[in-house]
Amino acid sequence: MNNRPIGVFDSGLGGLTAVKELRALLPQEDIIYFGDTGRVPYGNRSRETITRYAKQAASFLLSQNVKLIIAACGTVSSTVTDLTSLTNGAPVPCIGVVKPTCAAAVRATKNRKIGVIGTTTTIRSGSYQRELSHMTDGLEVYSRDCPLFVPLVENGFSSPDDPIPCLTAQRYLTSIRETGVDTLILGCTHYPLLHDIIAQVMGPKVALINSGRETALYAAQWLKENGLLQTNGGSTAFYVSDSTEGFSQLAQIFLGMKVEGSVQRIAIESYGA
């Protein structure tokens, strides 16, 4: 047993999809979440900038004595090829979203046609495509970047009744739907917040793979296998690099729980990169 918290970070709100799943899977665990809301989105930034931001996030989480770091960000997981480098030699494992998400997609597909959507940086990196090809032969993989999805989510435009995200999804996803994929990887942890809209466009026969959920399942199994589960916790603390009020309002909607009073703003630039 290990009573240290789990650390989770993302460019903004998207990683909350992983936190929600972790809370359901591991209700006795303490979780510390950092959302880099002052610098979101990461998806159109350079590799050097993304790596620096990720190292600062990891440095902050290490200062909180975490036992595991989850990079709940498709862009970071795709850009930083060696996630262990983020901890600067500290004996704390760091896992990303690409591998567990691809494994779930391979299990789900029946016609071996898989779609991948993500930020521009994620899609250009080819990380999901490479991981899928390493897992099995004979897959057809179709990818598309969806750069407006993250800003829409971060600004609260995620309702299936809202024409703005619906029209955006149609614009991005029609070409992938027409390829005949039966499985679609939501390669950014923001995207599950648009699940219902994406499902409407793709149709009922396409399985949507939630990267936040698959990563949470992977983390839970890893903690169990390594004897690091906690039994007497259950708290969640939130840290952001910008306004706490705006984050609290949106986080409450996406998590289904109140977060007022548990959100603090930090100067993330003060943490080593």
Structure tokens at 2: 């290990």
> What secondary structure does DSSP assign to 120-166, as a single string?
HHHHHHTHHHHHHHHH-SS-EEEEEE-TTHHHHHHTT---TT-HHHH
Q: Which is nearest to 268 in space by CA: 73, 87, 63?
A: 63
What span, in angstroms and rounded, lies between the C-alpha atoms of 181 and 205? 9
Respond yes or no: is residue 146 known to be catalytic.
Answer: no
Active-site annotation holder among 94, 146, 166, 188: 188
8 Å CB contact between 83 and 103:
no
Q: Which residue has the tokens 């996630």?
A: 83
Location of structure tokens 């698959």:
214
Catalytic one among 73, 94, 102, 166?
73
Query: Which residues have a catalytic role annotated?
Result: 73, 188
